[in-house]
Amino acid sequence: MMDKPISNRAWFLVVPVMAFVLFSSLIPMMTVVNYSVQDSMGQNSFFWNGSEWFQHLFDPATDIGGRFSRALVRNLFFSGVVLLIEVPLGILVALCIPKRGWAVGAVLVSMALPMLIPWNVVGTIWQVFARADIGLLGAALTGAGIPFNNTQDPLSAWSTVVVMDVWHWTSMVALLCYAGLKAIPDAFYQAARIDGAGRWSVFRNIELPKLRRVLVIAVLLRFMESFMIYTEPAVVTGGGPGEATSFLSLDLVKIALGQVDLGNAAAMSLVYNLITLTLCWVFFTTMTQLDARGSA
Amino acid sequence: MTRRIVLALYLLVLALPIYWLVNMSFKDNVEITSTLSFWPHRPTLEHYAHIFQDPAWYGGFLNSLSYVALNTVISVVIALPAAYAFSRYRFLGDKHLFFWLLSNLMAPPAVYAMPFFNLYSAVGLFDTVWAVALAHCLFNVPLAVWILEGFMSGVPREIDETAALDGYSFPRFFFRIFVPLIANGIGVAAFFCFMFSWVEQLLATTLTTVNAKPFVAVMTRTYSAAGMDWGLLAAAGVLTMIPGAVVIWFVRNNIAKGFALGRV
């Protein structure tokens, strides 16, 4: 890793990717920047508006600022909850997958299946599954005397969205961890057995250190994906009841495509993107540092 | 033993909602709304027949498959040389560039929905499968670079050097020797591009209206008219799971390593 030759001719190999990303990322971003500093009188007549949209956005007293800060807190809470459930559960499941045998392939494929379903079908599956009249889960909960209603009760809506996300993505954490576990040589386990190590100390001293790298990737991917979740809750709850499950992306789409409020939407897009970028940078630095330490 | 039980329970929980949808797709709407049954008492194929007879439905399916295929090919082809550069050389600004690429992977599609609408309308690609295929490159190209770079770094550099000494030109070395060596990685990268393009909805529906409408956008039609056509919705949902299940079968041996992005 560390002794790669330095060659600026390698840039030629990167040019196609650069051109592509410039087209599909930088140009759209400039459009957003443009909207964020202008106001419109309608019919494509724009005038300079300075930082007013941003001032509104950061002031929780305004309508848009309040919405944004509530959606941000809600989304961070959601990401935290799903990470706290999915990471330990994923590790647990990974430890349970057999390392070899005929069943491994079948188990891995069936685990990955939820991830290959289009996101609004995932939403549809859970919308149906959680309905008290025709869904198994909803009917079972109502039958057990637990009041459950996605469209009226915020707690029901929240638990459905969280359970749906756990159902959808825990397998990814598990598959990542499984790949990490498989990379541990058998000799490590034999040595542990000779030392008389118990199950917990094998996990703590052999497996967990090996998992650190894949866990960083897992946390990074899961955090980002949950931080920009849109389609699944849009189908199941539509952000409701009220604005109970209205996460950042849902709110942004409502403002940008629903109300066509370009100035507010653009300012919100930029700040939203900047937050993800910062968090992404933190994770990325952690990851490269782990890489460097691993290969040193 | 406990391990098997935990695993079996987990798989059962995963399967249950899917089973319920499959079950529903074979029932008629009267049965769906009147009783909760674990298997269809009057099994019917009417919903599937409806989908395969209506051009709006199967046309949507073909639209989805074509932008996904286009996107997968574009992403992998342009990611290959870049991934090679990142895995083999250090060059001016390499770390920054790599991070910039990754940041696109992390950008919320909701942020891009509105500007993409403007961009693809301006270049005349709006409502074509190309618009969706190119839009999905936003996150699939960086992903492909990341995965391929991981797999390529696992190939020792001595192979490149030996080939150069043996008089192989770079293109010949790359396609004749190197590409076969990382065939697994290419398969995994293609699989992930397929997967993320197939499951993404927000951009796909924003960038199309009539001609290139994806299958899942057609699904919203079942919400209208005489209430919900639950059976039809379920049948459509079941059909969307098939391409993914087929594709994953090809990479089943590399799937764990693939999810770790080749980095284990």
Please give the domain boundaries of chain B with CATH numbers for all domains.
1-44 (no CATH), 50-259 (1.10.3720.10)
Could you tell me which chain B residue has the CA closest to the CA of A228? B108
Q: For A223-236, how does the pLDDT look when each residue is reduced to its tens digit (9 = 90+)? A: 888 998 888 888 88
**pLDDT above 90: percentage of residues in chain B:** 21
CB contact A40 to B (< 8 Å): no
The confidence score (pLDDT) of residue A1 equals 46
Q: For A51-60, how does the pLDDT look when each residue is reduced to its tens digit (9 = 90+)? A: 777 877 777 7
DSSP letter (8 states) at residue A6: B
**Residue A18 is assigned to a structural domain of this protein:** no
**Residue A203 is assigned to a structural domain of this protein:** yes
**Residue A40 is assigned to a structural domain of this protein:** no
**Residue A263 is assigned to a structural domain of this protein:** yes
The confidence score (pLDDT) of residue A238 equals 81
**Residue A75 is assigned to a structural domain of this protein:** yes
The confidence score (pLDDT) of residue B9 equals 92
pTM, entire model = 0.86
- Exposed e or buried b per residue across A23-36, where buried means at least 16 C-beta atoms within 10 angstroms of its C-beta: ebbeebbebbeebb
**Residue A29 is assigned to a structural domain of this protein:** no
The confidence score (pLDDT) of residue A199 equals 85
Residue B188 · residue B254 · CB < 8 Å = yes
The confidence score (pLDDT) of residue A92 equals 93
| Burial of B19 from C-beta contacts in 10 A (0-12 / 13-18 / 19+) | middle
Q: What CATH number is associated with residue A124?
A: 1.10.3720.10
The confidence score (pLDDT) of residue B27 equals 86
Closest by CA position to A151, among listed A233, A232, A237 = A237
Residue ranges of chain B with per-residue pLDDT less than 50: 225
- B230/A110 CB distance under 8 A: no
Closest by CA position to B182, among listed B222, B217, B147, B212 = B147
**Residue A35 is assigned to a structural domain of this protein:** no
Say how many domains are in chain A. Answer: 1
CA distance, residue A287 to nearest chain B CA (Å)? 11
SS3 assignment, position A46 = strand
- A276/B107 CB distance under 8 A: yes
Distance between CA atoms of residues A146 and B202, nearest Å:
34
The confidence score (pLDDT) of residue A169 equals 93
Sign of the four-CA dihedral B141, B80, B195, A76: negative
Q: For B52-97, how does the pLDDT look when each residue is reduced to its tens digit (9 = 90+)? A: 888 888 888 899 999 999 999 999 999 999 999 999 888 888 888 8
Residue ranges of chain A with per-residue pLDDT less than 50: 1, 296
Distance between CA atoms of residues A154 and B73, nearest Å:
43
**Residue A41 is assigned to a structural domain of this protein:** no
CA distance, residue A195 to nearest chain B CA (Å)? 23
In which domain, by residue range, is A265 found? 47-295
The confidence score (pLDDT) of residue A165 equals 94
